[in-house]
Amino acid sequence: MANTLTIFLLISTFFTGFFWCFYRIKSIKKYFLKKTILKDNNLNKKSVLHIKNKIYFFESLASFFPIFLIILIIRSFIYEPFQIPSGSMMPTLLIGDFILVEKFSYGIKEPITQKTLIKTNQPKRGDVVVFKHPNDYNVDYIKRVIGLPGDKIKYDTNKKNIKICTHYLDTHHCKKKIMIKYSKSTKSNFFQKIYFLNKNNFIQEKEVYNSLYFNIVEEDINNVKHNILLLNGVKNKNENYYQQKNMPKLTWIVPKGKYFMMGDNRDNSLDSRYWGFVPEQNLVGKAIKIWMSFDKNENEWPTGIRVNRIGNIY
């Protein structure tokens, strides 16, 4: 559950905060000790020592309150670390990257329900954003903002590019387009393994059948540049794409208060093309830095550290 750590921090902060307030008020502390000891004049040294040890234990517990409070404030309202578990944002983010997400980029939010308390900025086209999945609020996703509220987006499954219209008469006529440029496709070092199940003596063994190398392309959306990966020759079936009501296939108009997200690994990303739009209240924050990167593959142990990847995210 995505909010488990937040709930744990809240409970721990309130619990230790209670003892911190109680034992940091000297008059109450002295009164508690004096009253307990004087309550029975027959208390021996062992009993007095037991009471003092008990007080020391709760004082030590109370000392954790400032730590929990600082962590809670930073993690809930300022910055939160995330790990990249899949390759849907390659080549921008790789499996094993640890990123820092700026929580206040799109508003100060209540940490459990994500209700906006103070509005700040709105997402910009091209931002890399962490958000709660619209169909499963307990799952965090990370994608790039492609469409803003009111945008009309068309996706070409053959050329694998997008067209964005900001002012239009209807679904077929556009008055103002967003300038989108694509560089020439070049072969990258990234590859996709293709598996098949080999039935050998009634035992299914997973083996590598082939490896397809991705092509890398620079996508320039209104001078916001980033690289995307494409698998030439691989085409997803049209029936797999999300169809908006009263709209033709592969064309979407982003509703008010929602955003259209896409992964940079275009042929290996479950995003708004498949499950629709992301509500504004689902936004967690903007990914700004890679603070650590382990050289690893999905579901495998790290084999080293990629120091050269530490830095800003574009």
Name beta bridge partners: 176. 167
Mean pLDDT to the nearest integer, 19-26: 73
- The mean pLDDT of 107-117, rounded to a whole number, is 82
User: What is the arithmetic mean of pLDDT over 202-227?
Assistant: 80
Q: What integer best gives the mean pLDDT of the chain?
A: 85
124 is catalytic: no
Q: Is 94 left (phi over 0), alpha (psi -120 to 50) or beta?
A: beta
Q: Identify the pLDDT of residue 180.
A: 94
| CA–CA distances in Å: residue 137 to residues 68, 130, 189 | 25, 12, 35
Q: How far is the C-alpha of 293 from the C-alpha of 83, rounded, in Å?
A: 9
Report the pLDDT averaged over residues 111-135: 89
- 145 or 6: which carries more pLDDT confidence? 145
pLDDT (mean) for 241-256: 93
Cα angle for residues 213, 215, 217 (degrees, 5° grid): 160
Provide the sign of the torsion angle of the four alpha carbons 175, 178, 179, 180, taken in this order. Answer: negative
For residue 195, give Cα distances in angstroms to 89, 198, 205, 208, 212: 21, 9, 10, 5, 11
- pLDDT of 206 over the 70 cut: no
Q: How far apart are CA 151 and CA 257, in angstroms?
A: 12
Question: What pairs with residue 177 in β-bridges?
Answer: 165
The one catalytic residue in 88, 105, 269, 272 is 88
Query: Looking at the predicted structure, is the pLDDT value of residue 258 above 50?
Result: yes
Least confident of 52-56, 161-165, 221-225: 52-56
Classified by CATH at the fold level, domain 142-312 comes out as Signal Peptidase I; Chain: A, domain 2 (2.170.230)
Query: Is residue 267 within 8 Å of 231, Cβ to Cβ?
Result: yes
Residue 86 is among the residues annotated as catalytic for this protein: no
Q: Give me the pLDDT at residue 203, please.
A: 47
Instruction: Provide the pLDDT for residue 16.
Output: 87
Percentage, residues of the chain above pLDDT 70: 83
* CA distance linking residue 71 with residue 140, whole number of Å: 20
* pLDDT at position 201 over 70: no
Kindly name the residue from 143, 160, 258, 286 that is annotated as catalytic.
143
> Is 90 exceeded by the pLDDT of residue 225?
yes
- Choice among 161-165, 224-228, 301-305 with the minimum mean pLDDT: 301-305
Mean pLDDT value across residues 204-211: 61
pLDDT (0 to 100) of residue 128: 97
pLDDT of 150 strictly over 80: yes
Q: Say what angle helices 4-24 and 45-62 make with each other, to 10 degrees.
A: 130
